[in-house]
Amino acid sequence: MRLHAQHQPIALMRADCHVCRSEGLASRSQVLITSNGHEVQAQLYQIDSDLLALDEVALSEEAWDALAIRDGDSVQVRHPPVLESLAGVRQRIYGRRLGEEDLAAIVRDVVRGRYTDVHLSAFLTATATLPLSIDETIFLTKAMVDVGDRLGWQAPIVVDKHCVGGLPGNRTTPLVVAIAAANGLVMPKTSSRAITSPAGTADTMEMLAPVDLGIEQLQRVVQTEGGCIAWGGAMHLSPADDIFVRVERELDIDTEGQLIASVLSKKIAAGATHVVIDIPVGPTAKIRSHETAERLAGHLIETAAHFGLTLRCLYTDGSQPVGRGIGPALEARDVLAVLRNDPDQPQDLRERAALVAGAVLEIGGAAPPGQGIALALQTLDSGRAWEKFARICAAQGGLREPPQAAHVEPLVSLQAGRVTHIDNRKLSRLAKLAGAPERPAAGVSLHARLGDEVARGQPWLYLHAQTRSEMAYALEYARHAGDIVTIEA
């Protein structure tokens, strides 16, 4: 049947089949399916019709893949074993702290696919309403590393960077990797897809080259080029993270403890030793104040130190988007413009990439303290970054041009004036309603920055959408959302 269910293993069976009857299985209960030595736990739905024969079971793709079976193979279906780790989740719901073994057991069962949406949501909510303690964050990080693969590198220093997000279009990663690798550093970058934003780094990079690399291919790319920009989820590094992320996306939440465990588990599993964290701070960014940023930085550094990881946090301007594009393909175009030194490249993206790359060059020992930014800019100006980026893309499977959306509509200013405020959250919402990141060509392109003078009738933003109905949702939101960009006479 090839049922699509986004990471959820599902089985459909006839309600009147002998297995359901003899095992006493009810619809929506969990079942354990085994075949040829593989097993997966799935949610059972029962049907009455003869779309399925009495001895047939239909599986979602996730279940299908986990069992490694083909059409016509036989499977066994029975009650799953009791889910002992749920006792820990229940404890946490009632506000009791969890220990190392509790969290390890929970994460193991999550990765085995034994948690339903209800269980996953309860665990993530409980650890948001009563935030994870530092100890719990350390235990969770360790548990998330332990259930996945770990990469090892033949280098004493392996650099990495991460942006805690909340700032649309902040796509410095491909630029930083190119600059770092061009200067001899080892930077095997694994990135995630969007959680609640219109694009994750992996979504954007995928517009320029394949990112779905296996561990062996990733190691080959890094060995020859010094760097890569790959999707972490393709690699079984901290695989629990992708499962948590799907639920967090549905709730549109992203909490400090989960954020720290998510970021650090990926870095530790990827074998990083020195990491720069970019924390944009601004009134509509994810981090709203310097106090919050400093607390987050403190908790990140404390947790990282527990794993022997050196961390440097940068507090950057989060008052407006970086670059012009918001959405995978549109952001990829900004990255290309900076690498190619296009005359109309977004200067803010170039400067921010140099800031982060400078810190990476310094922490990695490729530049003396205080001289990282200058080296980063020189690497861009000389074309060495572009050359390195093109080689990395070729090694990952080939450089390619980002797609164009089928529909583009401008939003024009109703009055002349100056741009005094930009609402990042509303911009992100607008880009998501236009289809990003599911539709990679969709999103918005912003042609106004704080302080710009705008004429009456001047387009200050372009909406890009792949379908007419998504364009309609985005336009309707733009009409009713209030000021996305404030233009004062």
Helix 215-225 vs helix 384-396: crossing angle, to nearest 10? 150
Q: Does 260 bind a second copy (CB under 8 A)?
A: no
Task: Please check whether residue 165 is in contact with residue 195, taking contact to mean a CB–CB distance below 8 angstroms.
Answer: yes
- Of the candidates 33, 66, 67, 89, which one interacts with a second copy according to CB under 8 A? 89
CA distance 112 to 108: 6
Per the DSSP assignment, residues forming a β-bridge with 311 are 275
Q: Does 11 bind a second copy (CB under 8 A)?
A: no
CB of 49 to a second copy, least distance (A): 5
Given the rule CB under 8 A, which of 44-52, 140-148, 374-382, 447-455 is the region that contacts a second copy? Answer: 44-52
Residue burial 354-368, b: 16+ Cβ < 10 Å; e: rest: bbbbbbbbbbbebbe
- Of the candidates 84, 117, 149, 483, which one interacts with a second copy according to CB under 8 A? 117
Helix/strand/coil for 272: coil
Query: Quick one: 195 or 304, whose CB is closer to a second copy?
Result: 195
Q: Does 5 bind a second copy (CB under 8 A)?
A: yes
Q: Does 51 bind a second copy (CB under 8 A)?
A: yes
- Of the candidates 67, 75, 122, 285, which one interacts with a second copy according to CB under 8 A? 122
Q: Give the residue numbers marked as catalytic.
A: 254
Given the rule CB under 8 A, which of 161-169, 173-181, 249-257, 331-339 is the region that contacts a second copy? Answer: 249-257
- Name the CA dihedral angle for 416, 418, 424, 429, rounded to a multiple of 10 degrees: 0
Q: Does 399 bind a second copy (CB under 8 A)?
A: no
Read off the DSSP letter of residue 80. Answer: P
Count the neighbouring beta carbons within 10 Å of the beta carbon of residue 448. Answer: 22
DSSP string, 98-129: P-HHHHHHHHHHHHTT---HHHHHHHHHHHHH
Q: Which of 60, 69, 68 is nearest to 6 (CA)?
A: 60
Q: Does 32 bind a second copy (CB under 8 A)?
A: no
Strands 159-163 and 187-191, by their bridges, are unpaired
Read off the DSSP letter of residue 56. Answer: -
Query: Quick one: 26 or 416, whose CB is closer to a second copy?
Result: 26
Contacts of 141 (CB under 8 A, 6+ apart): 260, 261, 264, 265, 268, 303, 307
- Of the candidates 34, 36, 55, 79, which one interacts with a second copy according to CB under 8 A? 79
The tokens for 466 are: 């792949």
# chain residues binding a second copy, by CB under 8 A: 62
- Of the candidates 121, 223, 292, 319, which one interacts with a second copy according to CB under 8 A? 121
Q: Does 133 bind a second copy (CB under 8 A)?
A: no
Q: Which of residues 438-467 bind a second copy (CB under 8 A)?
A: 438-439, 466-467
Q: Which of 336, 310, 297, 346 is nearest to 449 (CA)?
A: 346
Query: Quick one: 199 or 229, whose CB is closer to a second copy?
Result: 199
CB of 265 to a second copy, least distance (A): 22
CB of 442 to a second copy, least distance (A): 8
Q: Does 45 bind a second copy (CB under 8 A)?
A: yes
CA distance 340 to 380: 8
- Of the candidates 37, 48, 53, 72, which one interacts with a second copy according to CB under 8 A? 48
Q: Does 408 bind a second copy (CB under 8 A)?
A: no
Given the rule CB under 8 A, which of 47-55, 315-323, 374-382, 388-396 is the region that contacts a second copy? Answer: 47-55
Contacts of 74 (CB under 8 A, 6+ apart): 35
CB of 389 to a second copy, least distance (A): 31
- Of the candidates 125, 219, 292, 319, which one interacts with a second copy according to CB under 8 A? 125
- Of the candidates 54, 68, 78, 368, which one interacts with a second copy according to CB under 8 A? 78
Helix/strand/coil for 260: helix
Task: Please check whether residue 268 is in contact with residue 309, taking contact to mean a CB–CB distance below 8 angstroms.
Answer: yes
Q: Does 353 bind a second copy (CB under 8 A)?
A: no
- Of the candidates 104, 120, 167, 353, which one interacts with a second copy according to CB under 8 A? 120
CB of 335 to a second copy, least distance (A): 25
- Hunting for tokens 């861009």 — which residue is that? 380
- Of the candidates 128, 134, 394, 399, which one interacts with a second copy according to CB under 8 A? 128
- Hunting for tokens 């336009």 — which residue is that? 475
CA distance 464 to 477: 14
Q: Does 116 bind a second copy (CB under 8 A)?
A: yes
Q: Does 70 bind a second copy (CB under 8 A)?
A: no
CA distance 455 to 414: 9
Q: Does 295 bind a second copy (CB under 8 A)?
A: no
- Hunting for tokens 């006839």 — which residue is that? 14
Q: Which of 460, 451, 458 is nearest to 418 (CA)?
A: 451
What is the binding site for a second copy (CB under 8 A)? 1-6, 8, 10, 12, 15, 21-24, 26-28, 45-49, 51, 58, 60, 78-79, 86, 89-90, 92-95, 116-122, 124-126, 128-130, 247, 250-253, 255, 435, 438-439, 466-470, 473
